Amino acid sequence: MRTLDDLDVKGRRVLVRADLNVPLDGETITDDGRIRASLPTIQALAGSGAKVIVCAHLGRPKGQVKPEFSLRPVARRLGELLGQDVVFAPDVAGDGARAAVEGLQEGQVALLENLRFEPGETAKDDAERRAFAERLAGLADLYVGDGFGAVHRKHASVYDVPALLPHAAGGLVTAEVEVLRKLTDDTERPYVVVLGGAKVSDKLGVIANLLTSVDRLLIGGGMAYTFLKAQGHEVGGSLLQEDQLDQVRGFLSEAAERGVDLVLPVDVLAATHFAADAGYDVVPATEIPADRQGLDIGPRTRELFASKLADARTVFWNGPMGVFEFDEFARGTAAVAEALIASDAFTVVGGGDSAAAVRRLGLPEDGFSHISTGGGASLEYLEGKTLPGLAALED
């Protein structure tokens, strides 16, 4: 995979596929972590005299121009962080984009409007996607793939454009791949994975693959209740995927056969309803009342999980342990994060809600070895899948 060092960028128009899919409250960015993660590559290119054209997506406008998904607020924030004005193109690959690019001087940066305003970006039809990719590639001389959070998507800006331009991987993508290889090819043991989040179905492939490689698998969050139910326990009104029970029973059996220490919650915060101010009791995970729902792991589980992480040499964590957006139900997630910070292990936070939780809880980001920018991409890599965006950059 070529890197920025392999490209002569001075005076050239360089199209950078970044991941700037940040959460917005109106026009206010509530977490600029992905923008900050994109800065080193953009700064390196601009500092080398490139005319930098950044493209990215925001949300799921499904091929329609929707003002609430405009990247204009992102352009403002990117400019603040770069310390220079960022030219904002009012469209993706039309007259506005061409005018913005033509006006760029060496070292200047432009941001195109939301890629997903164009139906061709996410089209399943190869010809439609390719046609849009040709319009996008026509804006530039070179391509740099740096949107790790999108490399698992077969989208025009990620998969088709690299075939049309000389290309290289940006610093963020190369760093992510290096970290993930440590989790798959050169793993120091004990290797512990912590999985949380809402649905087991989102992680079927990665659990199946991890059971062949990890020493311990800690399961929390909403997905834990399907595991508890599969063991025959009452889970009340907790999040449950009935259609996954047989699959989960298979995971439990395979873990036992392979000697993998699969650890489930031993107590939970059983709430009266789903709300920030809901009343709750701490109950054994095997005795959740029928009229309650688990919204976080309990204090004994927090201690148990911390003990299972204490001697780890490699840890991958993806998914919160509870509804961390509610302060009363954020302690389980905080406990896992703090155990990783206290650990001497190589610790990787697998993007998505886990990374958002670290920032929301005010924990030091440098307390972890790596915080990924791509939750879904990281999981698919660990599942053993070929990621289209990485394959395109390797050609």
User: Which residue numbers are catalytic?
Assistant: 34, 199, 352, 376
59 is in an annotated binding site: yes
End-to-end CA distance of the chain: give it in Å, rounded.
8
Q: Are the CB atoms for 304 and 263 separated by under 8 Å?
A: yes
20 is in an annotated binding site: yes
Cβ within 8 Å of residue 83, ≥6 positions away? none
294 is in an annotated binding site: yes
233 is in an annotated binding site: no
138 is in an annotated binding site: no
Nearest to 207 by CA among 253, 160, 169: 253
3-state secondary structure of 48: coil
DSSP structure class, residue 20: -
Positive or negative torsion for Cα 225, 227, 229, 231: negative
21 is in an annotated binding site: yes
155 is in an annotated binding site: no
Q: Are the CB atoms for 89 and 113 separated by under 8 Å?
A: yes
From CA 331, how far away is CA 303, in angstroms rounded?
Answer: 11
From CA 72, how far away is CA 69, in angstroms rounded?
Answer: 9
Q: What does the block give as tokens for 327?
A: 């302060």
Cα 62 to Cα 65, 69, 377, distances in angstroms: 9, 10, 20
From CA 164, how far away is CA 339, in angstroms rounded?
Answer: 46
Q: How many CA atoms lie within 13 A of 143 on its CB side?
A: 27
325 is in an annotated binding site: yes
Cβ neighbours of 304 (radius 10 Å): 18
232 is in an annotated binding site: no
Q: ∠ CA 95-96-98 to the nearest 5 degrees?
A: 65
2 is in an annotated binding site: no
Alpha-helix residue ranges (DSSP H) falling in 28-120: 33-47, 72-82, 95-102
354 is in an annotated binding site: yes
Q: How many CA atoms lie within 13 A of 126 on its CB side?
A: 0
From CA 160, how far away is CA 153, in angstroms rounded?
Answer: 11
Positive or negative torsion for Cα 282, 327, 239, 273: positive
DSSP structure class, residue 156: I
- Annotated binding residues, written as ranges, equal 19-21, 34, 57-60, 116, 153, 203, 294, 325, 351-354
- Annotated binding residues for substrate, written as ranges, equal 19-21, 34, 57-60, 116, 153
- Annotated binding residues for ATP, written as ranges, equal 203, 294, 325, 351-354
